[in-house]
Amino acid sequence: EARQALVQVYLLLPGMAGGSVSKAKELAAAADKRQPEHAKALRAMIALQDKQWMEAERELQSAKPGDDKSLQADLRGSWSQLATQLLADKQVAKAKTIFEQLQREHPTQAIGPYGLGRVFTEMSQHDEAIKQFERAAGLAGADKLPVDHRLGIALLNKGEKPQAKAALERFVSNKKAN
């Protein structure tokens, strides 16, 4: 966990504040001998920062977390980040595949259905998007995602203005909403 946090710091801080991709890569390389699966997750994080989607996917696919809950969470976060970036790059089919995988592998977590809701919104399949956002709302991690915001948009796109208004008002009144 400390290595992952330090890699994030190195990737986010500008060079004059002590950050650098080379420092992040050195830290990942140092982890390779003692914790090779964690090193894969770190390399995936670095590849995501560099927008090297295929490299990130390769590292994520090769990582085997076993029973390590922390590593499982790190990998889940990196997979969702990759899918979100692919969706932003209009690679909708690839993003959909990853979010479906997240939903299958982590059925109690909100990120899979939430991501699928975003995919279906992008595809103008509003009924399916609404269904996915409603599913995500009741799962673990939903409080960290703007579910009501996206649900409100999907409802608005469908033309259901009163329901959209209610969802968006919930989002705005939620002090924890991002």
Q: Which residues contact 33 (CB under 8 A, 6 or more apart)?
A: none
Nearest to 111 by CA among 57, 157, 73, 149: 73
- CB of 133 within 8 A of CB of 114? yes
Tens-level pLDDT at each residue, the chain (178 residues): 667 776 777 777 665 566 667 777 777 777 777 888 888 998 998 899 889 999 999 999 999 998 989 889 889 999 999 999 999 999 999 999 999 999 999 999 999 999 999 999 999 999 999 999 999 999 999 999 999 999 999 999 999 999 999 999 999 987 776 6
Structure token pair of residue 8? 């994030």
pLDDT at 54: 94
CA–CA separation, 21 vs 101, rounded Å?
29
Task: Look up the pTM and report it.
Answer: 0.82
Question: 3-state class of 109 per DSSP?
Answer: strand
Q: State residue 150's pLDDT score.
A: 96
SS3 content of the chain, % helix, strand, coil (to 5): 80, 0, 20
pLDDT of residue 30: 76
67: enclosing H helix or E strand: none
Cβ-contact 98, 79 below 8 angstroms = yes
